[in-house]
Amino acid sequence: MSQIENTKVQALISAAKDGFNKAYAPYSQFRVGAAALTANGKIVKGCNVENASYGLTVCAERNCLAQGVIAGEQRFTAMVIYTNQEKLTPPCGACRQVIAEFLAPEALVMAVNNNNNSQQWTVSELLPDAFTPQDLLTNKEII
Protein backbone atom coordinates (compact mmCIF):
# COMPACT_ATOMS: atom_id res chain seq x y z
CA MET A 1 0.00 0.00 0.00
CA SER A 2 1.33 3.41 -0.87
CA GLN A 3 2.30 5.52 2.13
CA ILE A 4 0.48 8.82 2.59
CA GLU A 5 1.59 11.37 5.19
CA ASN A 6 -0.69 11.50 8.21
CA THR A 7 -1.32 15.22 7.64
CA LYS A 8 -2.58 14.42 4.12
CA VAL A 9 -4.80 11.62 5.46
CA GLN A 10 -6.28 14.02 8.03
CA ALA A 11 -6.85 16.64 5.31
CA LEU A 12 -8.57 13.99 3.17
CA ILE A 13 -10.81 13.00 6.09
CA SER A 14 -11.71 16.66 6.69
CA ALA A 15 -12.53 17.19 3.01
CA ALA A 16 -14.60 13.97 2.90
CA LYS A 17 -16.57 15.19 5.95
CA ASP A 18 -17.23 18.47 4.14
CA GLY A 19 -18.48 16.51 1.13
CA PHE A 20 -20.68 14.45 3.45
CA ASN A 21 -22.23 17.65 4.83
CA LYS A 22 -23.11 18.76 1.29
CA ALA A 23 -24.62 15.44 0.16
CA TYR A 24 -28.05 15.48 -1.44
CA ALA A 25 -29.80 12.40 -0.08
CA PRO A 26 -33.47 13.27 0.55
CA TYR A 27 -34.73 9.76 -0.24
CA SER A 28 -32.34 7.39 1.52
CA GLN A 29 -30.87 9.81 4.10
CA PHE A 30 -27.63 7.87 3.39
CA ARG A 31 -25.16 10.72 2.97
CA VAL A 32 -21.64 10.02 1.76
CA GLY A 33 -18.65 12.28 1.25
CA ALA A 34 -15.42 11.45 -0.52
CA ALA A 35 -12.07 13.14 -1.01
CA ALA A 36 -9.16 12.15 -3.22
CA LEU A 37 -5.53 13.19 -3.29
CA THR A 38 -4.26 13.98 -6.77
CA ALA A 39 -0.82 12.99 -7.97
CA ASN A 40 -0.01 16.72 -7.82
CA GLY A 41 -0.88 16.87 -4.10
CA LYS A 42 -4.24 18.63 -4.44
CA ILE A 43 -7.40 17.45 -2.70
CA VAL A 44 -10.71 17.17 -4.54
CA LYS A 45 -14.00 16.20 -2.95
CA GLY A 46 -17.44 14.98 -3.82
CA CYS A 47 -20.74 13.87 -2.33
CA ASN A 48 -23.54 11.57 -3.31
CA VAL A 49 -26.39 13.16 -5.24
CA GLU A 50 -29.66 11.24 -5.26
CA ASN A 51 -32.39 11.53 -7.83
CA ALA A 52 -36.11 10.74 -7.71
CA SER A 53 -35.33 8.31 -10.52
CA TYR A 54 -33.11 6.20 -8.24
CA GLY A 55 -30.97 4.76 -11.03
CA LEU A 56 -29.69 8.25 -11.80
CA THR A 57 -28.18 8.68 -8.34
CA VAL A 58 -24.42 9.31 -8.42
CA CYS A 59 -22.10 8.16 -5.64
CA ALA A 60 -19.70 10.44 -3.79
CA GLU A 61 -16.63 8.55 -5.00
CA ARG A 62 -17.51 9.00 -8.68
CA ASN A 63 -18.49 12.63 -8.15
CA CYS A 64 -15.19 13.22 -6.37
CA LEU A 65 -13.10 11.78 -9.19
CA ALA A 66 -15.19 13.65 -11.77
CA GLN A 67 -14.46 16.89 -9.91
CA GLY A 68 -10.77 16.06 -10.16
CA VAL A 69 -11.00 15.39 -13.87
CA ILE A 70 -12.90 18.66 -14.37
CA ALA A 71 -10.01 20.40 -12.56
CA GLY A 72 -7.53 18.85 -14.99
CA GLU A 73 -6.38 15.92 -12.84
CA GLN A 74 -6.35 12.33 -14.05
CA ARG A 75 -4.10 10.59 -11.54
CA PHE A 76 -4.96 10.15 -7.87
CA THR A 77 -2.97 8.54 -5.07
CA ALA A 78 -5.54 8.04 -2.29
CA MET A 79 -9.23 8.33 -1.46
CA VAL A 80 -11.22 8.65 1.77
CA ILE A 81 -14.94 7.87 2.02
CA TYR A 82 -16.87 9.28 4.98
CA THR A 83 -20.30 8.29 6.35
CA ASN A 84 -22.10 8.48 9.67
CA GLN A 85 -22.90 4.76 9.63
CA GLU A 86 -21.80 2.46 12.45
CA LYS A 87 -20.64 -0.07 9.87
CA LEU A 88 -17.84 1.25 7.70
CA THR A 89 -18.95 1.75 4.12
CA PRO A 90 -16.71 0.52 1.30
CA PRO A 91 -17.28 1.75 -2.27
CA CYS A 92 -19.98 0.07 -4.36
CA GLY A 93 -19.04 -2.01 -7.41
CA ALA A 94 -19.48 0.81 -9.92
CA CYS A 95 -17.29 3.09 -7.82
CA ARG A 96 -14.65 0.38 -7.46
CA GLN A 97 -14.42 0.19 -11.25
CA VAL A 98 -14.07 3.98 -11.59
CA ILE A 99 -11.52 4.06 -8.76
CA ALA A 100 -9.50 1.39 -10.60
CA GLU A 101 -9.53 3.66 -13.68
CA PHE A 102 -7.80 6.54 -11.87
CA LEU A 103 -5.85 5.10 -8.91
CA ALA A 104 -2.95 2.67 -9.01
CA PRO A 105 -3.56 -0.89 -7.77
CA GLU A 106 -1.52 -0.21 -4.60
CA ALA A 107 -3.22 3.13 -3.84
CA LEU A 108 -4.94 3.69 -0.50
CA VAL A 109 -8.73 3.70 -0.19
CA MET A 110 -10.02 4.35 3.32
CA ALA A 111 -13.49 4.32 4.84
CA VAL A 112 -14.04 6.50 7.92
CA ASN A 113 -17.15 7.02 10.03
CA ASN A 114 -18.37 9.57 12.55
CA ASN A 115 -16.93 7.44 15.40
CA ASN A 116 -13.44 7.84 13.88
CA ASN A 117 -13.34 4.15 13.01
CA SER A 118 -11.53 3.40 9.80
CA GLN A 119 -10.68 0.59 7.43
CA GLN A 120 -8.10 0.64 4.66
CA TRP A 121 -7.77 -1.25 1.41
CA THR A 122 -5.68 -1.06 -1.68
CA VAL A 123 -7.48 -0.62 -4.98
CA SER A 124 -6.50 -4.18 -5.95
CA GLU A 125 -8.00 -5.52 -2.70
CA LEU A 126 -11.29 -3.78 -3.50
CA LEU A 127 -11.33 -4.94 -7.12
CA PRO A 128 -8.97 -7.83 -7.86
CA ASP A 129 -8.22 -8.39 -11.52
CA ALA A 130 -9.86 -5.08 -12.43
CA PHE A 131 -10.56 -4.22 -16.05
CA THR A 132 -8.36 -1.15 -16.63
CA PRO A 133 -7.19 0.94 -19.59
CA GLN A 134 -4.24 -1.45 -19.93
CA ASP A 135 -6.71 -4.20 -20.88
CA LEU A 136 -8.05 -2.40 -23.92
CA LEU A 137 -6.82 -3.56 -27.30
CA THR A 138 -4.18 -1.31 -28.77
CA ASN A 139 -4.64 -2.87 -32.19
CA LYS A 140 -8.01 -1.81 -33.59
CA GLU A 141 -7.91 -4.45 -36.29
CA ILE A 142 -11.00 -6.67 -36.39
CA ILE A 143 -10.17 -10.35 -36.13
Catalytic positions, written as ranges: 61
Is 53 labeled as ligand-binding?
A: yes
Q: Judge whether 83 and 32 are in contact, CB under 8 Å.
A: yes
Is 117 labeled as ligand-binding?
A: no
Is 63 labeled as ligand-binding?
A: no
Q: Which residues contact 95 (CB under 8 A, 6 or more apart)?
A: 59, 61, 62
Alpha-carbon dihedral angle through residues 113, 117, 121, 123, given to the nearest 10 degrees? 20
Name the residue among 133, 125, 115 with its Cα closest to residue 17.
115
Is 47 labeled as ligand-binding?
A: no
Question: Cα(79)–Cα(42) distance, rounded to whole angstroms?
Answer: 12
Question: Cα(9)–Cα(14) distance, rounded to whole angstroms?
Answer: 9
Is 92 labeled as ligand-binding?
A: yes
Binding site residue list for substrate: 48-54
Q: Which residues are annotated as a binding site?
A: 48-54, 59, 92, 95
Residue list for the binding site for Zn(2+): 59, 92, 95
